[in-house]
A and B are shown apart, each in its own frame.
Chain A
């Protein structure tokens, strides 16, 4: 079973919930698909057992065969190929690896090489929680490739908890694609509600069942509850705002080990998710 944890905006506690769900679930594997800003490992401090290098193709021009006709440059929609006076310049970072240049080249002058765009690290925390996280290299644009690989690696696992990228970008879409259930972590403030609406819209469009965890409750107002009621959205759990929690988080603690009652909340979320799945 795949469960995605997401949020409309940063700072709602998405990573905290994902990490603590993993800590409190038997046989769970946590994957961090927020590859631009991976944070779960800061809390779990895993011992890395395996590293995967993620590569992407880019075109290489055979200068003997190339006639500088410029067809490849005209075709490339990403400005990655510039046919200049005496050579064809390839800007690797801009290449999306669509393969179009090879198709349009009449002289068979294009082949492909591979370059690193990031890494995936796999390991276990001190308490034996398996975690796999991706890290995208500086200057790279394609998070999706790493996210897809992360999902592949855990394809046969029994229970996967996915820490998704924040917001509703195409990275988020690839992180939550075809998951069994999504947990939205939100705050009871007007900002929280507004950002959450976009996530709800996305999940409904993707036909994924979901519920909400209201984090930092008591700090805001009732708008989120009214919205969920009107829209028929399940509230899985509420976690009351507490300065102790905020301080413990700031130190990098795993809250389940430090805050009384936190584990129970996590187990209760998991039970409700499993229940809703069994009912389908």
Chain B
């Protein structure tokens, strides 16, 4: 199986734009949107929902008001300020430690499963997409990302589909690690801004731990010559292949605005920058 993940050191560099642009060129694919904080890939894909399921995260405290005697012990002992003086639980602050349940003299508190998001499977004209959405205020979860990945993989195995395209989480937190683990290749999308090189260094050192081929894509490569040069030099010094350079072009945003995949919307532009060769490289297993 050929699992291709697209990542970036920070958000907003064009990761999702590139992921969408790849999708039409692999025959039937399975798509996994692991950017669960900002799940935008489906916007460009004209999806039809096949199923939706609640995703359960950690267990959280729940108070049974019938039993509670307002002794205030839980309020006192909670190190997360998640219980107020009226013995009401602040869900976003509860980290599920279980101290209140343990300390409660009248067994009025129990730890219960808490829904932190939803997971979906939808059909598109290129193949099915597995995507998810966190409820606002919930912590980005490596576990949810792992679940999206595993459902995508199961789908590909079942339908004998060779390629999985994964829109990874941005940044370098644990959810990013869950996006990358076990993939066949990683594409790093980077922008030539002041923090661009710094972001590249960080994501590179992370991806490097997985011993998989890395392809670098510089997006908006003509934004700053100086910063672009620094990125190219870094890649040269570290033996990293710059596989694609995308210039800033209004038709890319225009395509997104029209909810079209940019590489289809302005295919000429993508052809002129060597997109077809890039795709061929990605197909090699």
Q: Is A–B contact present in the complex under a CB 8 A cutoff?
A: yes
Give the interface of A toward B (CB within 8 A).
8-12, 36-37, 39, 42, 75, 77-78, 96-100, 103-104, 141, 166-170, 172-173, 188-191, 194-195, 198-199, 201-202, 205, 219-221, 243, 246-247, 249-252
Chain B residues with Cβ under 8 A from A172's Cβ? 137
B256 and A191 within 8 A (CB) = yes
Rounded to whole Å, the gap between the CB of A77 and the closest CB of chain B is: 6
A173 and B248 within 8 A (CB) = no
Partner of A198, one of B96, B136, B220: B136
A219 and B253 within 8 A (CB) = yes
Given the known interface contacts A167-B37, A190-B40, A247-B224, the answer about A96 and B97 at a Cβ–Cβ threshold of 8 Å is yes
Given the known interface contacts A170-B92, A195-B38, A220-B257, the answer about A11 and B137 at a Cβ–Cβ threshold of 8 Å is no
Rounded to whole Å, the gap between the CB of B29 and the closest CB of chain A is: 21
Additional pairs, 6, CB under 8 Å, beyond known A170-B93, A190-B259, A191-B16: A8-B38, A42-B195, A98-B79, A191-B40, A191-B256, A246-B223
Chain A residues with Cβ under 8 A from B259's Cβ? 190
Partner of B136, one of A78, A205, A243, A251: A205
Partner of B95, one of A98, A166, A191, A195: A98
Give the interface of B toward A (CB within 8 A).
10-13, 16, 37-38, 40, 43-44, 58-59, 77, 79-80, 92-93, 95-99, 102-103, 134, 136-140, 170-171, 173-174, 191-196, 220, 223-224, 226-227, 248, 250, 253, 256-259
B102 and A11 within 8 A (CB) = no
A167 and B137 within 8 A (CB) = no
B194 and A220 within 8 A (CB) = no
Chain B residues with Cβ under 8 A from A170's Cβ? 92-93, 137-139
B136 and A199 within 8 A (CB) = yes
Chain A residues with Cβ under 8 A from B171's Cβ? 10, 36-37
User: Roughly how many angstroms separate A11 CA and B96 CA in the complex, as a whole number?
Assistant: 33
User: Roughly how many angstroms separate A205 CA and B137 CA in the complex, as a whole number?
Assistant: 10
Shortest Cβ distance from B198 into A: residue: A42
Shortest Cβ distance from B173 into A: residue: A36
B80 and A168 within 8 A (CB) = no
A202 and B136 within 8 A (CB) = yes
A251 and B226 within 8 A (CB) = yes
A168 and B136 within 8 A (CB) = yes
A11 and B11 within 8 A (CB) = yes
User: Roughly how many angstroms separate A11 CA and B227 CA in the complex, as a whole number?
Assistant: 17
A11 and B12 within 8 A (CB) = yes
Partner of B96, one of A10, A39, A77, A195: A77
User: Roughly how many angstroms separate A199 CA and B43 CA in the complex, as a whole number?
Assistant: 18
Chain A residues with Cβ under 8 A from B224's Cβ? 247, 250-251
B136 and A201 within 8 A (CB) = yes
B194 and A252 within 8 A (CB) = yes
B137 and A168 within 8 A (CB) = yes
Chain A residues with Cβ under 8 A from B140's Cβ? 167, 169
User: Roughly how many angstroms separate A166 CA and B38 CA in the complex, as a whole number?
Assistant: 10
Chain B residues with Cβ under 8 A from A8's Cβ? 38
Shortest Cβ distance from A11 into B: residue: B12
Shortest Cβ distance from B202 into A: residue: A37
Chain A residues with Cβ under 8 A from B13's Cβ? 10-11
Shortest 5 CB-CB distances between A and B: which pairs?
A11-B12, A10-B11, A98-B97, A250-B224, A202-B136
Chain A residues with Cβ under 8 A from B250's Cβ? 219
- Residue in B79, B174, B220 with the greatest tally of chain A CB atoms within 10 Å: B79
A10 and B170 within 8 A (CB) = yes
Partner of B43, one of A188, A194, A202: A194
Shortest Cβ distance from B193 into A: residue: A250
Given the known interface contacts A12-B12, A98-B80, the answer about A169 and B40 at a Cβ–Cβ threshold of 8 Å is no
User: Roughly how many angstroms separate A144 CA and B238 CA in the complex, as a whole number?
Assistant: 35
User: Roughly how many angstroms separate A250 CA and B173 CA in the complex, as a whole number?
Assistant: 24
B37 and A97 within 8 A (CB) = no
B38 and A189 within 8 A (CB) = no
Chain B residues with Cβ under 8 A from A198's Cβ? 38, 136
A247 and B223 within 8 A (CB) = yes
Chain A residues with Cβ under 8 A from B16's Cβ? 191
A100 and B99 within 8 A (CB) = yes
B79 and A75 within 8 A (CB) = no
Chain A residues with Cβ under 8 A from B258's Cβ? 221
Shortest Cβ distance from B111 into A: residue: A77
Chain A residues with Cβ under 8 A from B170's Cβ? 10
User: Roughly how many angstroms separate A170 CA and B138 CA in the complex, as a whole number?
Assistant: 6
Rounded to whole Å, the gap between the CB of A16 and the closest CB of chain B is: 11
- Residue in B10, B38, B59, B253 with the greatest tally of chain A CB atoms within 10 Å: B38
A99 and B77 within 8 A (CB) = yes
Partner of B98, one of A10, A100, A169: A100
Rounded to whole Å, the gap between the CB of A246 and the closest CB of chain B is: 6
User: Roughly how many angstroms separate A141 CA and B253 CA in the complex, as a whole number?
Assistant: 35
Can you identify 9 A-B contacts, CB atoms within 8 angstroms? A11-B13, A98-B99, A99-B79, A103-B102, A170-B93, A173-B92, A190-B259, A221-B257, A247-B223
